[in-house]
Amino acid sequence: MNSRARKTEPPATADDGAGDSASALRLSSPDHVVDCITRGLISGRYVPGQRLVEPDLMREHKVSRGSVREALRRLSAEGLVTLTLHRGAYVRALSRREVHDVLDIVELLTGLAARKAALAVKAGASAGPVGKALDRLVKASQGNEPFAVMQARNDFHRRVVRLGGNHELERLLKVLNLHLLRVQFRSLLGRAEVRKLDDYERLAGAIGRGNAAEAELAGRRHVRNAVRVFKDLPNEAFAADDAAEVPPGETPARAGAVSV
């Protein structure tokens, strides 16, 4: 996340856990609270719509009320937390419109990331990290642990972006709150993740061959296929938003897509 001036792994990646004591010692109190809430969201400890109670956070992290409030302000600025006058702070839940807007951008960036990765391979870089990430994703999909699949999928996308070498692209994807999408709808993914393995295999194959045009198309089709998979997602899965109407020319299926 771009508001913290320290080196860290992207929030929506594999191996995100509760954070160790050594890393906590290197952080200021607000940073520590931000880090723990973010990791808790990824691990499933916190869920969209859940209230974040200041006294509870103070006791848990042994920090002052000022540190907690500063952390919540930062998380609000990053789009992870919603602050209201009467309800206080709670983990943000996305509406159909918000999901639609995010995925419009994700489709373009996923295609670009795939193209950059394929061009890097064509120029001599190894596609090995992407291939290994695909193997881990396939293995995770054979089990019955959705969170393991989410971790493996996040790792796959991270490897693709890093192979392409565009640090700004990696930064942009980090601030799109894709982990909010994945966490909010995690319980509804079910077998859809297994059905999407073909998308990942086509994407990894095009990157491995160094075919930039094919890789970009595979990346964008991956997002479009996700739209169709989640076309029947119930309205109850989204946050209420009276203004979140489907944009002109878009179908409910397009607006309801949630997983990439």
The predicted structure's pLDDT at residue 190: 54
Q: Is pLDDT above 60 for 253?
A: no
- The answer to whether 113 and 161 are in contact (CB under 8 A) is yes
Q: Which of residues 118 and 5 earns the better pLDDT score?
A: 118
- The answer to whether 164 and 119 are in contact (CB under 8 A) is yes
Give 133's Cβ-side CA count (13 Å radius).
Answer: 26
Give 166's Cβ-side CA count (13 Å radius).
Answer: 20
Would you call 115 helix, strand, or coil by DSSP? helix
Residue 254: left (phi > 0), alpha (psi -120 to 50), or beta? alpha
Retrieve residue 84's tokens.
């209201």
Give residue 101's domain range: 96-255
Q: Are 85 and 149 part of one and the same domain?
A: no
Q: Are 104 and 227 part of one and the same domain?
A: yes
Segment 137-151 mean pLDDT: 80
Q: Is pLDDT above 60 for 242?
A: no
Name which of 87-91, 209-213, 230-234, 253-257 the model is least confident about. Answer: 253-257
Q: What is the CATH classification number for the domain harbouring 80?
A: 1.10.10.10
Structurally, the chain folds into a number of domains equal to 2
CB atoms within 10 A of CB 35: 22
Q: Are 129 and 58 part of one and the same domain?
A: no
Cβ-proximal residues to 102 (8 Å cutoff; 6+ apart), any chain: 94, 176, 177, 178, 181
Q: Are 118 and 247 part of one and the same domain?
A: yes
Q: Are 109 and 77 part of one and the same domain?
A: no
Q: How far is the C-alpha of 224 from the C-alpha of 222, rounded, in Å?
A: 5
Q: Are 66 and 119 part of one and the same domain?
A: no
Cβ-proximal residues to 149 (8 Å cutoff; 6+ apart), any chain: 137, 140, 141, 143, 189, 193
Q: Are 206 and 190 part of one and the same domain?
A: yes
Q: Are 102 and 218 part of one and the same domain?
A: yes
Q: Are 85 and 106 part of one and the same domain?
A: no
Residue that is written with structure tokens 């191996």 in the block: 15
Q: Which of 40, 64, 91 is the last residue before a domain boundary? A: 91
Determine, yes or no, domain membership for 141.
yes
Please report, rounded to a whole number, the percentage of residues in the chain having pLDDT higher than 70: 74
Q: Which of residues 22 and 177 earns the better pLDDT score?
A: 177
Q: How far is the C-alpha of 96 from the C-alpha of 111, rounded, in Å?
A: 23
Q: Are 246 and 122 part of one and the same domain?
A: yes
Q: What mean pLDDT is reported for the chain? A: 79
Q: Are 73 and 45 part of one and the same domain?
A: yes
Residue that is written with structure tokens 């807007």 in the block: 101
Which residue type, as a one-letter code, is found at position 231? K
Is the entire prediction scored with pTM above 0.75?
A: no
Determine, yes or no, domain membership for 250.
yes
Q: Which of residues 143 and 36 earns the better pLDDT score?
A: 36
Q: Which of 40, 69, 91 is the last residue before a domain boundary? A: 91
Q: For residue 243, with 0-12 CB atoms within 10 Å meaning exposed, 13-18 middle and 19 or more buried, which class applies?
A: exposed
Q: What is the CATH classification number for the domain harbouring 237?
A: 1.20.120.530
DSSP string, 167-232: HHHHHHHHTTTHHHHHHHTHHHHTTHHHHTHHHHHHHHHHHHTT-HHHHHHHHHHHHHHHHHHTTT
Q: Which of 48, 64, 91 is the last residue before a domain boundary? A: 91
The string of pLDDT tens digits covering residues 204-216 is: 999 999 999 999 9
Retrieve residue 32's tokens.
């520590």
Cα 32 to its chain centre, rounded Å, is 21
Q: Is pLDDT above 60 for 134?
A: yes
Determine, yes or no, domain membership for 9.
no
Q: Is pLDDT above 80 for 30?
A: yes
